[in-house]
C-alpha cells in the first residue's frame, strides 16, 4: 500500500490551475501519467472571468484517489477572495470547504476546521484538501524573493533551481524548476512557466507520476531527468553538512548496551570501539583505555546504546532519509518502488549523494487489471512473473512482494519459483483470496494488519482491490470472536508455517480518525512539527459521518492492536514497519506494540534483531557485536522500560559517519527532542 504517495496525490494530483489573472473563457487541461505510461487522471480548469473559475480533477491509482471540484476568485495580488471545494479524498472522506475574504477580514470552514482572521491582507489561504493550483498562487505572492504568509498559519518561500525550455514552435515554453519551503518537512518541487506572472507547468514525483499540460507528454523524460539531477545536488549538500566522518579509531564510552538477541540490557557499562564503519571491540568501561588510544571519544554517560532500528515497510524516496536517520532508523526495507528509481537511490545512498539509511530492496510484482499499482513489474502470465523474479534475483533482491491484482491461477507456481531462486515472498492478499490461501501457497510474510483481518471478513466475491480493503476491517473487526475456531485455526497455520506478520498498525490510524481531531499516530510529537504540518494532521481520511460509526471504527482499530499482541504471544514473528511518515511512524509503531501487551525490550528486539533476520542482513547488523557494521543509536532514557524514550535519539552512527539528530531536525524545521546531545572529543583535546 503506497500510503505516502496516495496522500501526496491527494494534495498534488490536481496540478496546475489558475493563471495569475484568469483569462475569460479560457480552458486549460493537464494529464497525470504514472510511471508505467498509463493515464491516471486529468485536471480541467475553466474561467468565466477572473472572479469565477472552476476546476475539476481526478486521479485514480491502485483502486483509490481524490475526486474534487474547486471554485474560486482571485484578488489582484494573486490570493483568494473566495474559495470552495467539494468531493472525496483519497480514502473516501467528504470534502466541503469554504473561504471568504473582504479587505483585512477572512473566514474559513471545512469538515476539519473553522476560523477567522482580522489580519488577512496579503495572506494566502491554504486549502485543507485543495489541488496543486495553490502553487500558482504561491508563485505570484513569492515574487522577488518575498516570503508569503499563509492562512490559517505558516509561511512559504520560493527559490529557483533550474531553467529550461520545452516544446517546439508555438508550443515552446520557457520553464523553471522551483522549490517551495515551509509547507512540510521537505521542499516541494514544482515546474513553473517563466515570466512576471508564472503559471504552473508540471509536478513530478520521480518514480511514480508526472502531471503536465496536455500535449507535453513527450517532455516527461526530460522533466524527470532534470528534476532528479537537481534534487541529487541539493541532497549531496545535506549529507556533507549533517554528518561527520569517523576516520580512524573512535570509541563510545560508558554506554549501557542493549543485547537485541536476548532482549535485555547488559550488566554494567561498556566502551564500544568503531573502526572503518564496523564494531572493532566491546570492553567493560575503562578497561584498556591507555592501551587502546582512539582518535576521538564520546562519553555516553550511561545512555542506552542500541543497534540501529529497522523500518521493514518503507517506499523510499530521496527526501525522507534525514527523518529516518534522526529517528534512529539506519535500515529501511523498501516494499515496492519504481525499479529504476530505487536502483538509482541505492547507488546514490552508497556514494553519499543521498542522505539516508541503508536499503534492503523488495521486488514488486503485480497483476494486470484496472486497479493495478504500476510500480515494479505488472504481469499477466506465469512466464512474465518468472522473468520478473529473475531480474530481481540478478539485482540482489532478497525478497519479492506480490500485490492486490496478481492472478491467483499463477500464485502458487510464482511463489515456488521465487523460493527456488532463494528469495522470500511477502505481500498483500490478492483479490478474491484470503490470507489463509496465500499462507498455504507459500507466502513467508503478510504485509499489513488489514490484510490479516480480511481473512475473517471476505468471501470469494469480495474485491479487495477497492476501498473495501479498508472499510471492511473498520466496520467488522470490532465484532470478531478472537476465541473462535476460525481464528484459532488461522493462528495455528501461521505458527506452523513460521509466517511473519508486518502489521504497520500506525498507518491504519486513518481508519478511525475523524476530520477535526488530531491523528493519534502523531499527537505526542505534533508540537515539535511545523505549524502547517500540524494542521494537516487534523484531516481524516475515511468517511465517518456519525458518532456511532466513529465508536465502531475506534473499537475495530483497538482490536487490531490487540490482535498483534496475540500474534506475538502465539510465537508468530513480527517485524516493525511504517508505510507512512518516515521515522516518527516507526516510533509510534513500537509504542503500539507495547500497548498490545508486548514488553518494551521485546519490542526493541522486533525493531532490531527481527528486522535484520527477516531482511536477511543479520550477519551484518541487527545487534551490537564485534565485526558487525557500526549501525548504532544512543538514546536518552531507558527504552527497555519506557518505549517512548525511543524518541530521544541523541546520536546516530552509520555508514562510517556520526549524525546529530538535533541538527537534522533543526534543518527540517522540527523542534529537537534532545536539547543537549553528547559531543565527540578529539584525542588531542583530552
Q: What is the pLDDT of residue 683?
A: 79
Asked if 638 and 365 touch (Cβ cutoff 8 Å), the reply is no
Place of cell 469565477: 52
Do β-strands 67-74 and 80-88 pair in parallel, antiparallel, or remain unpaired?
antiparallel
> 3-class secondary structure for 346-364?
HHHHHCCCCCCCEEEEEEE
Q: Are residues 180 and 256 in the same domain?
A: no
The DSSP element (H or E) to which 156 belongs, if any, is strand 155-166
Q: Are residues 590 and 678 in the same domain?
A: no
Look up residue 516 and give its three cell numbers.
Answer: 477535526
Report the sign of the C-alpha dihedral through residues 501, 505, 507, 512, in that order: positive
Q: Which residues pair with 202 in a beta bridge?
A: 191
Q: What is the DSSP letter of 128?
A: S
- What's the CA gap between 570 and 596, in Å, rounded? 13
Contacts of 320 (CB under 8 A, 6+ apart): 185, 186, 356, 581, 582, 583
Using DSSP's 3-state secondary structure scheme, residue 331 falls into strand
Instruction: Write down which residue in 183, 212, 241 finishes a domain.
Output: 241
b/e for 426-463, b at 16 or more Cβ within 10 A? bbbbbbebbbbbbbebbbbbbbbbbbbbbbbbbeeebe
Q: Are residues 583 and 631 in the same domain?
A: no
- What's the CA gap between 330 and 654, in Å, rounded? 7
Look up residue 520 and give its three cell numbers.
Answer: 493519534
Q: What is the pLDDT of residue 21?
A: 42
Q: Are residues 433 and 567 in the same domain?
A: yes
- What's the CA gap between 389 and 418, in Å, rounded? 6
Q: Are residues 364 and 459 in the same domain?
A: yes
Instruction: Give backbone dihedrals phi and psi of 366, rounded to 5 degrees, phi first.
Output: -125, 160
pLDDT mean for each 10 residues of the chain (686 residues): 39 35 69 81 86 88 87 90 93 91 94 92 89 86 85 91 94 95 89 91 88 92 93 84 94 98 97 97 87 89 98 94 96 95 92 92 96 91 98 98 97 98 98 97 98 96 94 97 97 98 97 91 93 87 92 98 98 97 97 98 98 98 98 98 98 97 93 94 70
- What's the CA gap between 457 and 239, in Å, rounded? 47
Range of the domain at 179: 3-241
Q: Are residues 572 and 646 in the same domain?
A: no
Instruction: Write down which residue in 620, 646, 669 finishes a domain.
Output: 620
Using DSSP's 3-state secondary structure scheme, residue 455 falls into helix
Q: Are residues 685 and 567 in the same domain?
A: no
Q: Are residues 173 and 35 in the same domain?
A: yes
> 3-class secondary structure for 457-497?
CCCCCCCCCCCHHHHHHHHHHHHCCCCCHHHHHHHHHHHHH
Number of separate domains in the chain: 3
Start-to-end C-alpha separation, the chain: 52
Q: Are residues 562 and 602 in the same domain?
A: yes
A 10 A CB-CB count for 287 gives 10
Q: What is the pLDDT of residue 291?
A: 63
Q: What is the pLDDT of residue 36?
A: 66
Q: What is the DSSP letter of 430?
A: P
Q: Are residues 124 and 151 in the same domain?
A: yes
Q: Are residues 543 and 651 in the same domain?
A: no
Contacts of 471 (CB under 8 A, 6+ apart): 92, 542
Q: Are residues 344 and 268 in the same domain?
A: no
Q: What is the pLDDT of residue 12?
A: 40
- What's the CA gap between 78 and 657, in Å, rounded? 46
Look up residue 305 and give its three cell numbers.
Answer: 546504546
Instruction: Write down which residue in 190, 212, 241 finishes a domain.
Output: 241
Amino acid at each position: 500500500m503506497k500510503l505516502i504517495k496516495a496522500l501526496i496525490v491527494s494534495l498534488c494530483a490536481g496540478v496546475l490551475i489558475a493563471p495569475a489573472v484568469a483569462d475569460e473563457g479560457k480552458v486549460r487541461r493537464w494529464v497525470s501519467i504514472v510511471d508505467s505510461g498509463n493515464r491516471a487522471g486529468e485536471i480541467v480548469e475553466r474561467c468565466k472571468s477572473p472572479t469565477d473559475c472552476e476546476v475539476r480533477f481526478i486521479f485514480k491509482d491502485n483502486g483509490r484517489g481524490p475526486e474534487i471540484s474547486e471554485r474560486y476568485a482571485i484578488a489582484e495580488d494573486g490570493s483568494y477572495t473566495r474559495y470552495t471545494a467539494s468531493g472525496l479524498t483519497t480514502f473516501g472522506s467528504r470534502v466541503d470547504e469554504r473561504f471568504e475574504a473582504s479587505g483585512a477580514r477572512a473566514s474559513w470552514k471545512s469538515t476539519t476546521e473553522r476560523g477567522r482572521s482580522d489580519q488577512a491582507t496579503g495572506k494566502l489561504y491554504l486549502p485543507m484538501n485543495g489541488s496543486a493550483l495553490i502553487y500558482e498562487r504561491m508563485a505570484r505572492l513569492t515574487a522577488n524573493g518575498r516570503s508569503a504568509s499563509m492562512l490559517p498559519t505558516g509561511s512559504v518561500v520560493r527559490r529557483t533551481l533550474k531553467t529550461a525550455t520545452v516544446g517546439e514552435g508555438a508550443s515552446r515554453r520557457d520553464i523553471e524548476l522551483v522549490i517551495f519551503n515551509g509547507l512540510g518537512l521537505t521542499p516541494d518541487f514544482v515546474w513553473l512557466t517563466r515570466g512576471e506572472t508564472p503559471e504552473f507547468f508540471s509536478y513530478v514525483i520521480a518514480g511514480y507520476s508526472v502531471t503536465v499540460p496536455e500535449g507535453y507528454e513527450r517532455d516527461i523524460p526530460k522533466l524527470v531527468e532534470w528534476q532528479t539531477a537537481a534534487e541529487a545536488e541539493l541532497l549531496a549538500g545535506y549529507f556533507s553538512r549533517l554528518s561527520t566522518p569517523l576516520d580512524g579509531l573512535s570509541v563510545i564510552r560508558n554506554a549501557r548496551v542493549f543485547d537485541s538477541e536476548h532482549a535485555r540490557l547488559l550488566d554494567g557499562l561498556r566502551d564500544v570501539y568503531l573502526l572503518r564503519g564496523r564494531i572493532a571491540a566491546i570492553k567493560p568501561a575503562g578497561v584498556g583505555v591507555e592501551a587502546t588510544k582512539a582518535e576521538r571519544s564520546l562519553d555516553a554517560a550511561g545512555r542506552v546504546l542500541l543497534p540501529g532500528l529497522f523500518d521493514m515497510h518503507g517506499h523510499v524516496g530521496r527526501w525522507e532519509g534525514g527523518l529516518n536517520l534522526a529517528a534512529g532508523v539506519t535500515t529501511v526495507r523498501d516494499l515496492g518502488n519504481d525499479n529504476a528509481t530505487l536502483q538509482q537511490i541505492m547507488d546514490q545512498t552508497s556514494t553519499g549523494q543521498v542522505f539516508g539509511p541503508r536499503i534492503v530492496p523488495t521486488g514488486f510484482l503485480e497483476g494486470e487489471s484496472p486497479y493495478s499499482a504500476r510500480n515494479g513489474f505488472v504481469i499477466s502470465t506465469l512466464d512474465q512473473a518468472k522473468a520478473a523474479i529473475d531480474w530481481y534475483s540478478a539485482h540482489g533482491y532478497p525478497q519479492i512482494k506480490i500485490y492486490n491484482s496478481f492472478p491467483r491461477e499463477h500464485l502458487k507456481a510464482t511463489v515456488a519459483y521465487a523460493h527456488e531462486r532463494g528469495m522470500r515472498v511477502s505481500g498483500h492478499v490478492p483479490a478474491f483470496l484470503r490470507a489463509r490461501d496465500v499462507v498455504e501457497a507459500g507466502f513467508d510474510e503478510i504485509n499489513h494488519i488489514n490484510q490479516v483481518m480480511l481473512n475473517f471478513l471476505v468471501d470469494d466475491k469480495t474485491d479487495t482491490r477497492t476501498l473495501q480493503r479498508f472499510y471492511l476491517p473498520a466496520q467488522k473487526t470490532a465484532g470478531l470472536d478472537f476465541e473462535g475456531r476460525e481464528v484459532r485455526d488461522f493462528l495455528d497455520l501461521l505458527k506452523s508455517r513460521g509466517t511473519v506478520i508486518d502489521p504497520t498498525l500506525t498507518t491504519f490510524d486513518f481508519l478511525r480518525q475523524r476530520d477535526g481531531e488530531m491523528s493519534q499516530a502523531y499527537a505526542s510529537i505534533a508540537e515539535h512539527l511545523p505549524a502547517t504540518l500540524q494542521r494537516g494532521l487534523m484531516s481524516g481520511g475515511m468517511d465517518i459521518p456519525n458518532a456511532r460509526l466513529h465508536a465502531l471504527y475506534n473499537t475495530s482499530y483497538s482490536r487490531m492492536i490487540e490482535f498483534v499482541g496475540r500474534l506475538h504471544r502465539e510465537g508468530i514473528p513480527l517485524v516493525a514497519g511504517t508505510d507512512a511518515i518516515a521515522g516518527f511512524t516507526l516510533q509510534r509503531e513500537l509504542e503500539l506494540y507495547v500497548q498490545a501487551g508486548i514488553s518494551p525490550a521485546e519490542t526493541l528486539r522486533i525493531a532490531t534483531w527481527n528486522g535484520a533476520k527477516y531482511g536477511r542482513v543479520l550477519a551484518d547488523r541487527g545487534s551490537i557485536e564485534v565485526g558487525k557494521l557500526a549501525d548504532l543509536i544512543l538514546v536518552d532514557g531507558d527504552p527497555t522500560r519506557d518505549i517512548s524514550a525511543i524518541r530521544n535519539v541523541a546520536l546516530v552512527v552509520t555508514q562510517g559517519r556520526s549524525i546529530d539528530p538535533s541538527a537534522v531536525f533543526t534543518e527540517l524545521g522540527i523542534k529537537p527532542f534532545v536539547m543537549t546531545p553528547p559531543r565527540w572529543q578529539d584525542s588531542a583535546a583530552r
